[in-house]
Structure 1
Amino acid sequence: MLAVAMLALGMGLGALIAAALYATELKRIATFLRTRNKHSNARVTAGTPAPGIHELASVINDGLEETSRERIEALRSQEEFQRDLSALSHDIRTPLTGAKGYLQLALDETDDDVRTHHLDAAAARIDSTTELLDALFAYTKSTDPDLSLTPEVVEVETAIEQALLAHYPEFEARGWEPRISCAEGTTILADRDALARIFDNLIVNALRHGADAPRVSVRSQDGVARIEFANAVAPGTKIDADRLFDRFYQADSARNSSGSGLGLAIAANLARAMGMELSAHVEKGDGGAPDSLVIALVSRNR
């Protein structure tokens, strides 16, 4: 009986000691988390071999690592946004300053023809600013999580032809003849207006930055439609395909090329909103032929 009593007493004391150790360790961990600087890289350590403490410390540290990664990513995004905002401010201010200068010249000019020239130049710069602001509004709208889309069955070839036809004067002025290769009867489920905007933005990108007429191909297999817009690029053009859909990205780092750098970002956002994928790669030319930029829209929601 005495042995049993001693065993029971020992087990009770062991439980009390274990409970005290757990309470002390948990209090230490709680104090660490409460007083820890959120910018610190310090992590929870296990001060006792008690069962479960190491696992608890590991889970907490995993959470701290994830929070740290999210904080670093948020800071990086904020820095990128500030750089983009600075570039956007420059892009808006430059044409407006030019317009103001031409208007001042027009006010001081007595020759009607010269005055008209100055006014036309001012109007062109104001139009450039308006285009940029319209693109910024379209980009903001495309990122809206509550963006209202109405999916319907769309015949791809017809939609592409309509988008190309809208830019016929620009193609004619360049002497370009776009080519379409489309699997007959290919349809996808998409919002008609959003899809038209995607095609339009891809065509505008080819017109502004391409060196030849765009080539459009459409393939469909096993319920997946792949629509590719390809166009040659001028020799020496450097394109970062991984950044092509970033807002304000332009291959011309000096930002001297036309456009807002938002067209492809808008297209990517609209594609994503419809459950599609937009990707890009540079295809090396063979036998001295120029490289081509290939942008592909993939739809799996037919």
Structure 2
Amino acid sequence: MSPGALAVLMLVIGVLAGALITTAAYAPELRRISRLLDARRDGRASANARITMGAHAPGVAELAEAINRELDCAMRSHIDGMRAQRDFQRDLSALSHDIRTPLTGAKGYLQLAADEADPALKRRRIDAAVERINRTSELLDALFSYTKASDPDLVLNAEPIDVREIVEQCLLGHYPDFERLGWEPVVTGTGAPRITEADRQAMGRIVENLVANALRHGSGAPELRIATAPEQTILSISNPIDRPDELDVEHLFDRFYRADSARRGGGSGLGLATSAKLAEAMGMSLEAKVDRGRLTIELRSH
């Protein structure tokens, strides 16, 4: 055999030997990784099981670490999903109770009215039943509005709108409520229009929900500030509240959130959550803070 042929033969033998050594190093580790993943999929291994290395074959350790990171991410997503499902079931149970209570009351008043001979008393009981049915209707409307605002495919039509005009229309519509409470809202920043690119209907709903929240849960007249155009804050509404220490501003815009003191004023716990969703859909955000017994909510542009 010529020296050249011998050199080629030795090279081939070396390559084959290297391949065998590499296979011997990699194959057991890859089989072990495969068995663990199969066991996790079939439920034969704990969801917390992670890949460990028996040998340090080049590249396999990095592969194991990458797989473990994906397993950790999947576990976090699973836990977040379970928490969201638990919170949704809890919220749905609370809403079911809130709907069932006025309906049960309405049914009771109607039964009493059916057996009542006194026309005046019959009328009062029917009116009480109607009031509770209306309350149920308000809850269902609020739930529909929240569901619509939460739709990821929601399309809003942005156009130049005057925030001042929307605020003034909202306050005018609530004039009887302010008069009943003896409150006179303070509005600043009305000297010039604040033009903002937004959906008119969505902006109207946000302002309506903010004012309604102040009326329902506040302990004094609100102050509204329409900011000038260069500012990031578009609108802020501030009002004194009872027991501010009971209010968790971090969860104020959560679905169905209601502080204990706020339950006295009714509400579905969906108004501010709906407003936050609508603001997000328009590239804006709602932020809240409590300072010196006053709750301030700001609508801000990004």
TM-score normalised by length of structure 2: 0.91
SS of residue matched to 1:185: coil
Q: Which residue of 2 aligns with 1:288?
A: none
Q: Distance in 2 between matches of 1:245 and 1:78?
A: 18
1:151 to 158, 167, 174: 158
Counterpart residue type for residue 119 of structure 2? D
Q: Distance in 2 between matches of 1:253 and 1:73?
A: 29
Contact 2:243 2:261 in 1 (8 A): no
Contact 1:229 1:295 in 2 (8 A): yes
Residues 110-189 of structure 1 mapped to structure 2, 5 A cutoff = 110-182=117-189, 184-189=192-197
- Structure 2, unmatched stretches of 5+, are none
Q: Which residue of 1 aligns with 2:74?
A: 67
Q: Distance in 2 between matches of 1:247 and 1:148?
A: 21
Q: Relative to structure 1, is the Cα distance of residues 236 and 159 closer, same or farther in structure 2, using a 3 angstrom cutoff? A: closer
Greater helix content: 2
- State the Cα deviation string for residues 111-153 of structure 1 (Å, max 9, x = none): 1111111011001000000100110111111111121211001
Q: Distance in 1 between matches of 2:245 and 2:107?
A: 33
Counterpart residue type for residue 116 of structure 1? R
Counterpart residue type for residue 196 of structure 1? G
1:91 to 82, 86, 98: 98
Q: Which residue of 1 aligns with 2:299?
A: 297
Quote the sequence identity (%): 52
Deviation at 1:196, TM superposition (A): 0.2
Count of matched residue positions in the alignment of Structure 1 and Structure 2: 294
- State the Cα deviation string for residues 14-35 of structure 1 (Å, max 9, x = none): 2221023223322221121111
Counterpart residue type for residue 73 of structure 1? D
- Structure 1, unmatched stretches of 5+, are 285-290
Contact 1:276 1:299 in 2 (8 A): yes
Q: Distance in 1 between matches of 2:245 and 2:119?
A: 42
Q: Distance in 1 between matches of 2:280 and 2:71?
A: 31
Contact 2:232 2:300 in 1 (8 A): yes
Q: Relative to structure 1, is the Cα distance of residues 144 and 236 closer, same or farther in structure 2, using a 3 angstrom cutoff? A: closer
Q: Distance in 2 between matches of 1:241 and 1:142?
A: 21
SS of residue matched to 1:170: helix
2:218 matched to 1:210? yes
Q: Distance in 2 between matches of 1:166 and 1:47?
A: 73
Q: Distance in 2 between matches of 1:16 and 1:79?
A: 53
Q: Relative to structure 1, is the Cα distance of residues 90 and 39 closer, same or farther in structure 2, using a 3 angstrom cutoff? A: farther
Greater Cα offset, 24-33 or 213-222: 213-222
| Alignment root-mean-square deviation, CA | 2.0
Q: Which residue of 2 aligns with 1:43?
A: 50
Counterpart residue type for residue 169 of structure 1? P
2:239 matched to 1:231? yes
